[in-house]
Structure 1
Amino acid sequence: MVKFSEVEKHSDLIQICGKCGDCATSGTQLSTAKRHVSEPCPVKNVLGFEAYDARGRILILKRILENNFKIDDGFLNWAYTCTECGSCRETCLAIEGGIDTPLLMDALRQDLVKNNYRLKKHELILESIRKHHNPYNEPLKERFAFLDAAKNYFDVKNADYILYIGCTESYRQQNIALATIELLEHLGINFAILEEENCCGSILRRYGYEEEFKELAKSNLTYLNKQTTKKIIFPCAGCLRTFKLDYQDYNSTDLQFFHLTEFLEEFFKTHPYNFKLQNHKKIGYHDPCHLGRHVGVYEAPRTLLKLLENSTFIELDALRNYSHCCGAGGGVKSSNPDLAVEIAKNRNAEALQKAIDILVSACPFCERNLADGIPENANGFMVVDIAEILNKTIQKELSTEISHLGVKSEICKQYMKFLGQYPEIFSDLIPGSDMDFAIYDSFDDFEEEKTMDAFHVLRKEEGVEIIPGKADDADLELALSKEAIAKLIQTKSKEDYATRFGDFYNDPSFEEGWIDFLLHKRTKTLIDMGYGKFAEAAGILEDEEDAL
């Protein structure tokens, strides 16, 4: 006879359910609901039957407690279709805070494991964690093989923070780990990685392997507490939730746990940085369940994304504690991958309806599953992690390379030197952009195409290179009188330079100075390459959209 001792501990909670259906309401405003949420259960939204929403699951648990239910393979698979996202709890008014259906499903899964009702794939993952310290059956020695071997990332004794990468970012989503590391390095954060970093065990808790999880939790806490620094940064929302919530019963340490977004939000209050997208994009944010509903971090990611220049931040309709799950949680991604992807498709559809270009999350599971659920006709829609977009858009100090070989005139040398001192003038251009500068002694020489001197500026990944002579395939050519240059090199900032530049183009004078240009590419192409931003600042182009 099957004993459901863990479920029985919550029998009072199960009996509280009044079967009102708020946890599964579909697009109608109910008088009892806390807030209008369309279709809060992501699993029922895909599979359709009431057995998959919170009310249906609680009804089934009632039958179990009455010893009136047969446990078979169908039931076992059903038990692992819940993402344990907690969306149902947000709409429930039966008790303060709502009935905790994820807690009930955890209890059920623990009872199934205790009674040896186990899925083969779960057993394989448990064995992998025991043997390789990760759920992916990957060799332990390969955990940090993606790191730059020339750098010592493991000097924990002298670090201010520990960066806990996690299994998924170490073996599957290494792009997030690398972006996080590069970003922290650029910010000058003194961090280190644990050379013997272990799996946090989140998946074991979701599967119901409570004893194995408890053993792993105690081991991880003991190991971390031995380190000199007690401040741990997690780029993985799942790891953070596990350490911060699931380890609570076993944690008597003074360890401090931060999600990357929490750390960065606080850091930027005293160390401001600029972030800028090359081309304007509409940005949306998907709240990971582990980070949002479970840990309560909502504002930090939004604060960071709103720092992005050249973007419009758009909220999804289902947001913050009412956010729809990505579909990967609760072990569903590994137990039922097809279901996980279908849930992700629904979430992506919400973003596409808002015409969002980039959907950002702060969890490797969310990024992976949402990316798996991008439809073929998404027209450039993409899913990225917040570490990636911040690392890609942070405005780094540009370097300058200058060669004066073959330059004849002193005014040209002075102009090249000036541009080298202010490489930020070219910061809006994409790498590979190349523009000619042709200097003229008079307007007559310009009409006769008799240049006094010429050079071109090549935008590179880390800065600009100023090269004598014209480029073989320039994007455009600027023609400038020596009088205009003499005044341009007196400016003290990119903004002042742009204003003076615009004056010479919009109100040219033979005596005071003039500027003209010749385009070698279509206007739209040049705008996409970043030239439009400077043209706007100079007053040459009133609005990029008007030019398209």
Structure 2
Amino acid sequence: MPSAEPPSEPSAEGGVPVHAPVTVEFLSDWRDAAYNCFSSGHKFCREVCPVMQVTRNESWTPTAFHANVVAMEQGELTVEDVAEDYVNCTQCGACELRCPNTLFTGDFYRFRTRTVDLVKRMRALAVDNGVHQPGYRRWNRLTDERSHEPVLGDVPVGQERVRDWAEGLDLPVGGETVLFVDCEAAFHRTSVPRAVAQILRRAGVDFGLMREQWCCGGPAAEMGYREQSRRFAEHNLADWRASGVRRVLVLDPHDYITFTEDYPAYFGADFDIEIVLVVELLAELIGNGRLTPTVPVERTITYHDPCRLNKRKGVWEEPRRILRAIPGLTFHDVDRVTQWSYCSGAGGGLPVEKPELTARISESRVAKAAELDVDTLVSACPWSERPLAEAGEAVSIDVVDLHELLAVSLGIEVGGSTDR
């Protein structure tokens, strides 16, 4: 990260804030979207917001995020006044789907509410104006130093250890297809990538690992550190090109969002790498008979939809196909399986700056699972599994990764650790 910081917003003249040029450009880009939200005066988006559900703070709602832009344009507020409010968002995307502008006018007016993008841009605007959140700043400084996220806690993180999770698996480096393992799974939940690698090998899928894998850069972009995100993306793409990579397998929903949305935005038509979500690939391999789970898993479960798969990418059928293929499971599904699924609170940098708020959201999510009389909550997102598991201890609900559960049913000894 650059050591020099841009100046913050100029002082007010005559009681009216004078915005820096970067803020003026931001307001020009976002005023129409802000007025589209602000003028509707509805509360639909607020009630599906995971932060609003546990705090009831009107300043931390999607409507308020847009209203702030209106107030800034009218000279009532500056970025310093509002920057901290935008910490309170998991970027789950539920508000976008619930917005009447998207539901009722999107097809006709070609308008889609983009609250997630607004939050990312406002956080970036704050950084560009020298307004930093302490947790975000520390997290991105450490990520820049180590090329990987510090993954919350004392787990050793560094480039020399990024492939430690694969010890004993004899995986090659390079090739046309590589498996990208997110920071949380590579350094903390190593049992997850070990399960994925062994399942893929069982199905006859050829793949290798990157020569020098860095963090995907997505978390930096989510917290507003766009320049750092772009540098990390450039490094990873250069590594793929140098190894002749044509296809990247991704097990983490956060990486999947980054590779399918941020990277194409950075590189345009030059980004011609195929991105494959492992959950979708595994469902296909089960469907065509290349994987057949046979070992019964005697658990009563429900499934936690990762927001970045379900709400933002529409991926909710494939995980359920996998679960229904595993013998022994008693699966209590819920009707909130599309856009209204519950959030874990673990996204958008929220656990970095406000871990206590993430914990409250995870507790609320696990409480909903407990109402179904299950003993296990299954997830397909390594980042959600840590806070969900901590919340699950209070109500005797295990949190198990979907990839690991499938590996057990295939008779695979996973190994690795979750440091829990």
Which TM class, normalised by the smaller chain length?
0.7 to 0.9
Partner of 2:386: 368
Residue 77 in 1 paired to residue 84 in 2?
A: yes
Q: 1: CA distance between counterparts of 2:239 and 2:320?
A: 33
Q: 2: CA distance between counterparts of 1:210 and 1:279?
A: 44
Residue 89 in 1 paired to residue 96 in 2?
A: yes
Partner of 2:221: 205
Q: 2: CA distance between counterparts of 1:163 and 1:190?
A: 10
- Give the letter aligned to residue 11 of structure 1: R
Residues 284-433 of structure 1 correspond to what in structure 2 (within 5 A)? 284-376=302-394, 378-379=395-396, 381-395=397-411
What is the CA-CA distance between 1:193 and the residue it aligns to? 1.0
- Is the Cα–Cα contact under 8 Å of residues 6 and 111 in structure 1 kept in the other structure? yes
Residues 115-514 of structure 1 correspond to what in structure 2 (within 5 A)? 115-136=129-150, 138-148=157-167, 150-157=168-175, 161-249=177-265, 250-251=267-268, 252-276=270-294, 278=296, 280-376=298-394, 378-379=395-396, 381-395=397-411
Residues 524-539 of structure 1 correspond to what in structure 2 (within 5 A)? none
Structure label with greater radius of gyration:
1
Q: 2: CA distance between counterparts of 1:7 and 1:214?
A: 23
**1:64-94 CA distances to partner (integer Å, 9 max, x unpaired)?**
222212555x844322111111101111112
Partner of 1:109: 123
Partner of 1:16: 36
- Is the Cα–Cα contact under 8 Å of residues 23 and 88 in structure 1 kept in the other structure? yes
**1:144-198 CA distances to partner (integer Å, 9 max, x unpaired)?**
22332x55323323xx521111211111211211221222233332221113111
Q: 2: CA distance between counterparts of 1:192 and 1:184?
A: 11
- Give the structure-2-normalised TM-score: 0.84
- Is the Cα–Cα contact under 8 Å of residues 211 and 239 in structure 2 kept in the other structure? no
Question: For residues 186 and 272 of structure 1, do their structure 2 counterparts lie closer, same or farther at Cα, with a shift above 3 Å needed?
Answer: closer
**If each structure's strand is expressed as a fraction of its own residues, which one has the higher value?**
1
Q: 1: CA distance between counterparts of 2:173 and 2:221?
A: 31
**1:368-399 CA distances to partner (integer Å, 9 max, x unpaired)?**
221122252x23x1111111100111157xxx
Q: Secondary structure at the match of 1:69?
A: coil
Q: 2: CA distance between counterparts of 1:372 and 1:66?
A: 44
Q: 2: CA distance between counterparts of 1:311 and 1:319?
A: 18
Q: 2: CA distance between counterparts of 1:277 and 1:234?
A: 26
Q: Secondary structure at the match of 2:34?
A: helix
Question: For residues 275 and 207 of structure 1, do their structure 2 counterparts lie closer, same or farther at Cα, with a shift above 3 Å needed?
Answer: same
Q: Secondary structure at the match of 1:20?
A: coil
Q: Tell me whether 349-358 or 60-69 shows the greater mean CA deviation.
A: 60-69
**1:232-261 CA distances to partner (integer Å, 9 max, x unpaired)?**
111111111101111112142321111111
Question: For residues 195 and 218 of structure 1, do their structure 2 counterparts lie closer, same or farther at Cα, with a shift above 3 Å needed?
Answer: closer
Residue 44 in 1 paired to residue 62 in 2?
A: no
**1:409-444 CA distances to partner (integer Å, 9 max, x unpaired)?**
xxxxxxxxxxxxxxxxxxxxxxxxxxxxxxxxxxxx
Question: For residues 323 and 369 of structure 1, do their structure 2 counterparts lie closer, same or farther at Cα, with a shift above 3 Å needed?
Answer: same
What is the CA-CA distance between 1:126 and the residue it aligns to? 2.2
- Is the Cα–Cα contact under 8 Å of residues 154 and 195 in structure 1 kept in the other structure? no
- Is the Cα–Cα contact under 8 Å of residues 316 and 350 in structure 1 kept in the other structure? no
Partner of 1:63: 71
Q: Secondary structure at the match of 1:284?
A: strand
- Give the letter aligned to residue 100 of structure 1: R
- Give the structure-1-normalised TM-score: 0.65
- Is the Cα–Cα contact under 8 Å of residues 154 and 194 in structure 1 kept in the other structure? no
Contiguous gaps of at least 5 residues in structure 2: 1-9, 11-18, 151-155, 415-420
Question: For residues 382 and 8 of structure 1, do their structure 2 counterparts lie closer, same or farther at Cα, with a shift above 3 Å needed?
Answer: farther
Q: Secondary structure at the match of 1:322?
A: coil
Q: 1: CA distance between counterparts of 2:70 and 2:391?
A: 35
Q: Which has the higher contact order (CA 8 A, sep 6+)?
A: 2
What is the CA-CA distance between 1:41 and the residue it aligns to? 0.8
Contiguous gaps of at least 5 residues in structure 1: 25-38, 397-460, 463-548
Q: Secondary structure at the match of 2:312?
A: coil
- Give the letter aligned to residue 69 of structure 2: L
Q: 2: CA distance between counterparts of 1:7 and 1:233?
A: 38
Q: Secondary structure at the match of 2:328?
A: strand
- Is the Cα–Cα contact under 8 Å of residues 231 and 255 in structure 1 kept in the other structure? yes
What is the CA-CA distance between 1:277 and the residue it aligns to? 5.8
**1:298-353 CA distances to partner (integer Å, 9 max, x unpaired)?**
21111111101112222234322221221011110111111011101111111111
Question: For residues 277 and 61 of structure 1, do their structure 2 counterparts lie closer, same or farther at Cα, with a shift above 3 Å needed?
Answer: farther
Q: Secondary structure at the match of 1:59?
A: helix
- Is the Cα–Cα contact under 8 Å of residues 179 and 209 in structure 2 kept in the other structure? yes
The alignment covers a number of residue pairs equal to 378
- Is the Cα–Cα contact under 8 Å of residues 284 and 359 in structure 1 kept in the other structure? yes
Q: Secondary structure at the match of 1:10?
A: helix
Q: Secondary structure at the match of 1:82?
A: coil
